[in-house]
Amino acid sequence: QKEVEQNSGPLSVPEGAIASLNCTYSDRVSQSFFWYRQYSGKSPELIMSIYSNGDKEDGRFTAQLNKASQYVSLLIRDSQPSDSATYLCAVNLNTGGFKTIFGAGTRLFVKA
Amino acid sequence: EPEVTQTPSHQVTQMGQEVILRCVPISNHLYFYWYRQILGQKVEFLVSFYNNEISEKSEIFDDQFSVERPDGSNFTLKIRSTKLEDSAMYFCASIGQVQETQYFGPGTRLLVL
C-alpha cells in the first residue's frame, strides 16, 4: 500500500514567522509532488508542484524535494493569519495509470 | 478563469438509493478523477478516467460505484445502493496533460440516512 505521511499537527506559528510542513512518501519511483491548501468545507487548491530534487520558490512559498530520502516539504515565509488551513501533500504514483495519493494533512494556525 | 463545476452541491438520500453526482471538467482537459473525503479524514482517491475508460481505481471503488462520460462534457459518479458510510464530500478533478496540476471542483456533500 503506497502511503503519504504527514504530521497532523496542529502546527501553531506567530504571524510573520516561517511555517515548515513536512511529508514523506513510500513509492520510491513517484515523480510528481504537490502541496494543496484546504480550508474547512472547501476543495483543495494547489499551492505548489515540484518534480525535481531541490528547492522551488513561488512568492512566500518554497517547496523542497529530496527523492533519495523520499521527503518533500513546504516552507511558508512571513506567515499570515489567512494561511491558517490544512495543508495536504499529494503524490502521483507511477502505476502506469493516473493515481494520486494524499496525505492526511497538517493543520496550520497562524496567530495574529 | 475556467473551472470545474459539480452538481448538486448537497444531496441527502436514503440508504439503498442510487445517487448520481455530476461534474463538468474544464473543457480541454483529458484526465478526470473522483475523490471522496469523509468528514475529518483525508482526501481519498476513488478512480481516474482517460480516453473513455477507467485508468486506475482504488479498493473503495467497488461494484457499487461506476463512472461515465455520457456526452463529452459531463463526468458522472454513480453509487448504485448507498450505504451510511458513503456519506462524505465527493470531489471531481481534471487535468489537461499527464503530471500537470489537478483542478478540483467545489465538491458535492452527500449525506446518506
Give the pLDDT confidence of A48-58 residue by residue, as tens digits. 999 999 999 99
> What is the C-alpha to C-alpha distance for residues A48 and B86, in angstroms, rounded to an integer?
31
Place B99 in a pLDDT band, splitting at 50, 70 and 90. Answer: low
Average pLDDT, chain B: 93
Grid coordinates in use for B35?
A: 475523490
The nearest alpha carbon in chain B to A86 belongs to B42
- What's residue B98's pLDDT? 67
Partners of B107 on chain A (C-beta within 8 Å) are 42-43
Q: Is the pLDDT assigned to residue A2 strictly greater than 90?
A: no
The whole-angstrom distance between B80's CA and the closest CA on chain A is 23
Distance from first CA to last CA of chain B, Å, rounded?
37
Partners of A95 on chain B (C-beta within 8 Å) are 56
The nearest alpha carbon in chain A to B48 belongs to A98
Partners of B106 on chain A (C-beta within 8 Å) are 42-43
- What's residue A23's pLDDT? 96
- What's residue A30's pLDDT? 83
The string of pLDDT tens digits covering residues B15-67 is 999 999 999 999 889 899 999 999 999 999 999 999 889 999 999 999 999 99
Is residue A97 a contact partner of residue B99, using CB atoms and an 8 Å limit? no
* Residues 6+ positions from A96 with CB-CB distance below 8 Å: none
The pLDDT of B60-75, averaged and rounded, is 92
> What is the C-alpha to C-alpha distance for residues A75 and B16, in angstroms, rounded to an integer?
46
User: What does B47-78 look like in DSSP terms, one character per residue?
Assistant: EEEETTEEEEE-TT--TTEEEE--SSS-EEEE
Angle at B35 between CA B34 and CA B39, to 5 degrees: 145
Is residue A74 a contact partner of residue A87, using CB atoms and an 8 Å limit? yes
Q: Is the pLDDT assigned to residue A34 strictly greater than 90?
A: yes
Place B101 in a pLDDT band, splitting at 50, 70 and 90. Answer: confident
Count of beta carbons in the 10 Å neighbourhood of residue A20 = 14
Is residue B103 a contact partner of residue B75, using CB atoms and an 8 Å limit? no
Is the model more confident about B93 or about B51?
B93
Q: Is the pLDDT assigned to residue A81 strictly greater than 90?
A: yes
